[in-house]
Structure 1
Amino acid sequence: MPVVGLEAWFTQIPPVTRTWLALSVLTSVAVQCQLITPLQLYFSFKAAFRNAQPWRVFTTFFYFGSISLDFVFHLFFFMRYSRMLEESSFANRKADYFWLLFLSSLMLLGLSPLFNLPFLSSPLAYVPIYFWSRRHPSTPISLFGLLTITAPYLPFALVAFSWVLTGTWRAAASDLVGCAVGHVGWFIRDVWTREMVGGPTIFSEAPEPL
């Protein structure tokens, strides 16, 4: 793709997804070029807070692993469905979309020690995928031209494919944690807020700036 065309494509991506994509690519490229190591990026409460390395709270969400087929797989699907979600359900509501990802990130940080998840980029990437799939339940999805499913099955099909791709159950487990967090985000906004509370709450919409 020509440089001009690549720049035009990149600037057309909505801002939240674009920033997440850029930081993720730059992080993996920096690791690939040996400017930093994964050991400087992973999250643990001890390293982040006791050892005064607070950047780990952020870098854990931007490292999708070394540049490989699995890296491309996760980056492609997160970008595709994060972009679609930001352009549809959260059109003109960028703050609310960021708030969804922010609250999801806090949940994942809390769950990290329970499931031994040092890197949370992949679980967080499944939040917009899951959220989009629940808001478009009747949309047919073609997986690589081989299988057609409806949108609610998409996250679990991608988890299964990631499992096959990596050959380890741990990757599937971390992605399933992301699906669970995505379900909580969807439930709060589309079930609890609308049907039980009857209006927006601090958990469904970003707080107004002071």
Structure 2
Amino acid sequence: MAESVFHTTLEHEGVAEFVEKKSVFIGHACPVSSEEEALAYVKKKKSEYADARHNVWAYLQKGEIVARYSDDGEPQGTAGVPVLDTIRKSGVSDAVVVVTRYFGGILLGAGGLVRAYSHTARLALDAAHIITYEQYTELELVCSYSDYQKYQAELPRFGSVIDDTQFADRVTLLFSVKDPVVEDVFARVREISNGATLPTVRGKRFDYR
């Protein structure tokens, strides 16, 4: 039996604000589908907050395959790395976080900066709503009308999602199931059709679970 495959990312853009010793930290978190999209988002926020002292950012793509960050003038290791670590600890991928800082005139020290940037990044991620998707296998099944009635009763037992049903000389069922039950679905279809029919795989997709 195949194991479930999950993908955790952000549902939408999130914004949060945090004030520490008169410094105002504004966090933005957003789902992105590519490195180019992440960098474009960073550029947009840096333009929107061009009057700020720092626009620190980090993003994570494709799990751990692509990861970048910038301290944007803060002491090395006190800003970009904490933001990236916060993304990693959240379990999120395909996401970018930009934390803008308006300096309040009071130095926070290295530890204070790490805490402030980490906390603001976490607030922004929470505001963006962390969401987990599970991988589904998309299947197509062509069957007789008599067997179609049986599949209508049986497929829901496997948690199937019916994507489309097309009626002609025969019935074409387009449906999706979670990866761990694909083999069970094939076995049940084989039983119902007496080995005459098997689904064909159309592809894969992630759905919210």
Q: Which of the pair is proportionally richer in helix?
A: 1
Greater relative contact order: 1 or 2 (C-alpha under 8 angstroms, separation 6 or more)?
2
Structure with higher Rg: it is 2
TM surpasses 0.5: no
- Report the TM-score, using the length of structure 2 for normalisation: 0.24
- Report the TM-score, using the length of structure 1 for normalisation: 0.24
